[in-house]
Amino acid sequence: MVFFRQTLFAGLCQPMVLQRYCCALIACFTIFACCNFSAAQEDPSSFGDEMFAELHDDTSGEPCEVCTPEAADFGKWESLVDEESAMQWTPSIPQFEPWRPFDSVRALGFRHSSTHGRHVDRGNPLRGTSWLNRPYHVDWFVGPLLGDELIRGRVNQENVLLGGLRIGWDFDYYWGMEWRYGRADPNAQFSTPQAQPNEVSYSVSDISLIYYPWGDSKVRPYCLLGLGAAQIDFLDDTGISRNSTLLTTPLGIGIQFQQWSWMLWRLEILDNISYGDGSIATMHNVSFTAGMEIRLGARPSSYWPWRASRKFW
Buried b (16+ CB within 10 A) or exposed e, 183-200: bbebebbbeeeeeeeeeb
Distance set, CA 142 to CA 86, 258, 267 (Å): 63, 19, 10
- Written as tens digits, the pLDDT of the chain (313 aa) is 544 455 555 555 555 656 666 666 776 666 665 655 555 455 555 555 555 555 555 555 566 666 666 666 656 555 554 545 444 445 554 555 566 666 667 777 888 888 888 888 888 998 888 999 999 999 999 999 999 999 998 899 999 999 999 999 999 999 999 999 999 999 988 887 765 668 899 999 999 999 999 999 999 999 999 999 999 999 888 888 899 999 999 999 999 999 998 999 999 999 999 999 888 999 999 999 999 999 998 765 555 555 555 554 5
DSSP state of 232: E
Q: How far is the C-alpha of 287 from the C-alpha of 254, rounded, in Å?
A: 12
Its pTM stands at 0.64
pLDDT score for 101: 63
Buried b (16+ CB within 10 A) or exposed e, 137-147: bebebebebbb
**Among the listed residues 173, 171, 296, 152, the one whose alpha carbon sits nearest the alpha carbon of residue 236:** 152
Are 214 and 122 in contact by the 8 Å Cβ rule? The answer is: yes
Edge-to-edge strands, sheet with 155-157 = 155-157, 187-190, 198-199
Distance set, CA 149 to CA 101, 154, 197, 262, 282 (Å): 40, 8, 16, 40, 8
Q: How far is the C-alpha of 114 from the C-alpha of 116, rounded, in Å?
A: 6
Distance set, CA 279 to CA 191, 234, 235, 247 (Å): 17, 12, 12, 14
CA 100 to chain centroid, in Å, comes to: 7
DSSP state of 122: -
> Phi/psi class of residue 41: alpha, beta or left (left: φ > 0; alpha: ψ in -120 to 50)?
alpha
Q: What is the CATH number of domain 111-296?
A: 2.40.160.20
**Among the listed residues 144, 228, 236, the one whose alpha carbon sits nearest the alpha carbon of residue 186:** 144
